Structure 1
């Protein structure tokens, strides 16, 4: 009887303690354990985000998603974060957090069961209620953590896709601005390669990193960067010509030759020299270049070489002119253009002067290489009067003796003009919107032998009349005026005159071709006014 009373009292006391425990301690323990588990799961999620986004170590990768490698991309560059990697990181973080969530919750229930239910260190009368309380806290914490993690993932998804949209809109806007700038510079149809004459929509750029030399085909804003892109070697490269991509080495995607240093930075002017073999194109081009640089040295508009190749070739041509020699004929293979920068500020432009071998103007199949004609709006036709048989035959023996006809062009100028204009039309060159400067070469010889008669060498109309009356090229002159919007005729002597200055006849031609275009053929100056 006494034992029964003791048991009853103990049972009543145990129940009373349980009631107090349930009323007072249990809510605190449940809330505390749930918050502890919730905090632990959120901390794990934060570790996952840091590991996936920042550390990128193998511990934060999953087998079903192979590691990202820039060498697998079409471009040798890392993708811009919000053009793929952000979505991949979101997916990876979701899977890793879900895996840690399952393991953490399972481990918590397992350890609680073992410690308080299966193999308690104290009496089960005390451990079982506490264990069940912890179970309640773990369940509540798991539910609370799942809700919070779901909200965090939803926020992550929204941020990623909003950022993706903003980045892509920004990249598209910058590309549109870049196109608008190119259109304002009349480069929207392409930039001229000085090596192969192709129109290049956008150069290939070479990474300047030490030992890298990887080539980026489209460096503009897009999936590999907005303002900057990161090469596979780690070097950051500008994505716009406006932000400095012109400082990189530009490569033509067609011939893999080097583009001019200022390609895309300024407007381009293409000036083709057209004429038969030995007509004097190379010598005239050298004289025009020398005129431009001499004028810049006397306070005229600035002129500088656009690449090292032009600088080297110019020095040779200048030396040949100075010693009154004859430059070697242009090689039949396509030569690189002579490129220079003229002017300053907004009027600054990149000028390509193309001197192509005269043999290419004779055979129609050879003129297909003259692709620069599509973008040219001013042409220089070099006409050698000594190449006209009727003119030579009309000279007296004394006049013929004073002229070295071995230097004359063997090609009829009418044949050259007809073939070249056919090619330009076939290549969609708009001749009706183009200008033509007809440079009658060897003026020094004509003047010395008094072969001009009463015709004025400084007047376009008088020069044209000399071609018609003396050379009998009336049909050619009329054909030129029918094909082109504007035609001007010049007598030119590509020789060095007094004080090592280019003959004054080159100045008006250069001014009309590369200057304001307002030369009226009746004035001759000693200075080029490039505007």
Structure 2
């Protein structure tokens, strides 16, 4: 990547070429004065009629006259040069410096405007291959194929850069005709590694949400349920349009649509090739008249076996900058839950229970987070974590404990104690894990994440493969909460579910709390921990 060391663009006239021209003007003027002085020196030589004069006195007088004349002429030449410089060259320099300062200031203003717009709009891209987030990709000149790493307002130009081939390239968000985002681009991080990975969507605000969990926990079903409803119903209902990142994502959506209609979902395949990403991104755009800039939604899925085994082909850099994480848990993978409610499951659900232990899932997530993220001053991670207890409908006892049915039952027994269904659901989900001998999981999440919320969800809404289409439960609520935290403007445009600002959990989950709530005993009003 030796060509990357030098930007293939010509410097703006205000950042070098103008000073070179000024230097040439000054140098030329000084050279002319110097040549005039040397020409005068030639007049000191004796004329031919003095060659026959032997008188020393006359010769001395002649040399005195010659030098006096030369000194006078040289003085006049210097004075004339100074006068020229003062009245011609100095104004030229002054005008140039004023114009140059204006040009540099103009570029600086465009740079500041660009920087502010990029920050306010949160413009960025995330590479599908290396998962690095960056504001500026490497743009490719459409005329010669040269790669421009610095196509932004700088020393090469404010609104446009001139490629070394002569092509004029847009270099700012302010250029609306033939905008910069129309240029082909590649990932800068991959390019530094010797690969050329095409990226699209320059100028977009990328929303990156990994969905993680053990195998068969329901990650793919969760993603299918969400994107199907968002693309087919929510977006159009709120004046937004959608289109796919590329043809491969369009094909993925076609497969999702078939799964959605059939009420089935294919297990995420483990990537065996080492030259491609282990993490699969489903990417699509959301655009609207008031949604500026457009959103590039990237929802990540990874095979549970690969995730739990920490055997990904590439570093999982998406955790460093993601806008939120969805952790999907199959509650029936917990041994105590299986012992209590396993006899309530039908054969189809029983065969689809995740075999991954929750401890292993959390260890895998912690390993990825430690490797790729930085904690804040409080010692916690800033991205919101949505913990999804999926398949709440696979056993009646689950819905009765922490699902919608359980929420209604506990609220009925504690009419003044709890006022928000989703806040109570969060408490019941945490309490369920504590009662299932997983209190350390609840504590670990609370200790490591600044913001977390638990949800009872059914991505499919019934036993998979029974011939009925998806009937998702609370899937949209999960994503609404994440978007409310990371992208409130998008959440507002989609009129998404809003959530209280209460400190969660409402009460400390401890042994015996569920029975107390069920009996309507304890506190008389909703409280925070």
TM-score range, shorter chain: 0.5 to 0.7
* Corresponding residue number in structure 2 for 1:226: 158
- TM-score by length of structure 1 reads 0.66
Larger radius of gyration: 1
Q: SS in structure 1 opposite 2:480?
A: helix
When you count helix as a share of all residues, which structure comes out higher? 1
**Deviation of 1:142 (Å):** 7.2
Q: How does 1:114-263 map to 2 (within 5 A)?
A: 146=81, 149-151=84-86, 152-186=88-122, 191-209=125-143, 212-243=144-175, 244-256=179-191, 257-263=197-203
Q: Does 1:477 align with 2:442?
A: yes
Distance 1:195 1:85 in 2: 40
Q: How does 1:320-331 map to 2 (within 5 A)?
A: 320-331=259-270
Distance 1:518 1:161 in 2: 46
* Corresponding residue number in structure 2 for 1:55: none
Q: Does 1:286 align with 2:224?
A: yes
Aligned-pair RMSD on alpha carbons? 4.4
Residues 219-250 of structure 1, C-alpha deviation per residue, up to 9 Å, x if partnerless? Answer: 12221111211112222122223433233333
Distance 2:453 2:4 in 1: 56
**Deviation of 1:499 (Å):** 9.2
Which residue of the other structure, out of 400, 407, 413, is the alignment partner of 2:358? 413
Q: SS in structure 2 opposite 1:241?
A: coil
Distance 2:76 2:282 in 1: 76
Check conservation: 2:153, 2:159, Cα contact below 8 A.
yes
Aligned length: 423
Q: SS in structure 1 opposite 2:478?
A: helix
Q: SS in structure 2 opposite 1:340?
A: strand
Check conservation: 1:380, 1:436, Cα contact below 8 A.
yes
Distance 2:382 2:135 in 1: 23
Q: Does 1:340 align with 2:284?
A: yes
Distance 2:320 2:5 in 1: 35
Residues 299-347 of structure 1, C-alpha deviation per residue, up to 9 Å, x if partnerless? Answer: 1352523621533432332233333343241444333533334464256
Distance 1:419 1:170 in 2: 51
**Deviation of 1:358 (Å):** 2.6
Distance 2:130 2:91 in 1: 53
**Deviation of 1:287 (Å):** 1.6
**Deviation of 1:75 (Å):** 0.9
Q: Structure 2 vs 1, CA of residues 362 and 341 (structure 1 numbering), >3 Å: closer, same or farther?
A: same
Consecutive unaligned residues in structure 2, runs of 5 or more: 43-48, 50-72, 192-196, 272-276, 408-421, 489-493, 499-529
Q: Does 1:370 align with 2:309?
A: no
Q: SS in structure 2 opposite 1:304?
A: strand
**Deviation of 1:277 (Å):** 2.6
Q: Structure 2 vs 1, CA of residues 147 and 297 (structure 1 numbering), >3 Å: closer, same or farther?
A: closer
Consecutive unaligned residues in structure 1, runs of 5 or more: 1-70, 111-116, 118-137, 520-526
Q: SS in structure 1 opposite 2:297?
A: strand
**Deviation of 1:452 (Å):** 2.9
Distance 1:453 1:356 in 2: 28
Q: Structure 2 vs 1, CA of residues 386 and 373 (structure 1 numbering), >3 Å: closer, same or farther?
A: same
Which residue of the other structure, out of 432, 436, 454, is the alignment partner of 2:385? 436
Distance 1:379 1:390 in 2: 26
Check conservation: 2:249, 2:282, Cα contact below 8 A.
yes
Residues 489-513 of structure 1, C-alpha deviation per residue, up to 9 Å, x if partnerless? Answer: 2222236999966524423223223
* Corresponding residue number in structure 1 for 2:58: none
* Corresponding residue number in structure 1 for 2:452: 486
Distance 2:165 2:497 in 1: 44
Q: Structure 2 vs 1, CA of residues 398 and 172 (structure 1 numbering), >3 Å: closer, same or farther?
A: closer
Q: Structure 2 vs 1, CA of residues 342 and 429 (structure 1 numbering), >3 Å: closer, same or farther?
A: farther
Check conservation: 1:361, 1:367, Cα contact below 8 A.
no
Distance 2:208 2:300 in 1: 8
Q: Structure 2 vs 1, CA of residues 84 and 450 (structure 1 numbering), >3 Å: closer, same or farther?
A: same
* Corresponding residue number in structure 1 for 2:333: 387
Distance 1:395 1:181 in 2: 54
* Corresponding residue number in structure 1 for 2:496: 529
Higher deviation after alignment, 145-154 or 159-168:
145-154
Q: SS in structure 1 opposite 2:284?
A: strand
Q: Structure 2 vs 1, CA of residues 72 and 319 (structure 1 numbering), >3 Å: closer, same or farther?
A: closer
Distance 1:206 1:530 in 2: 42
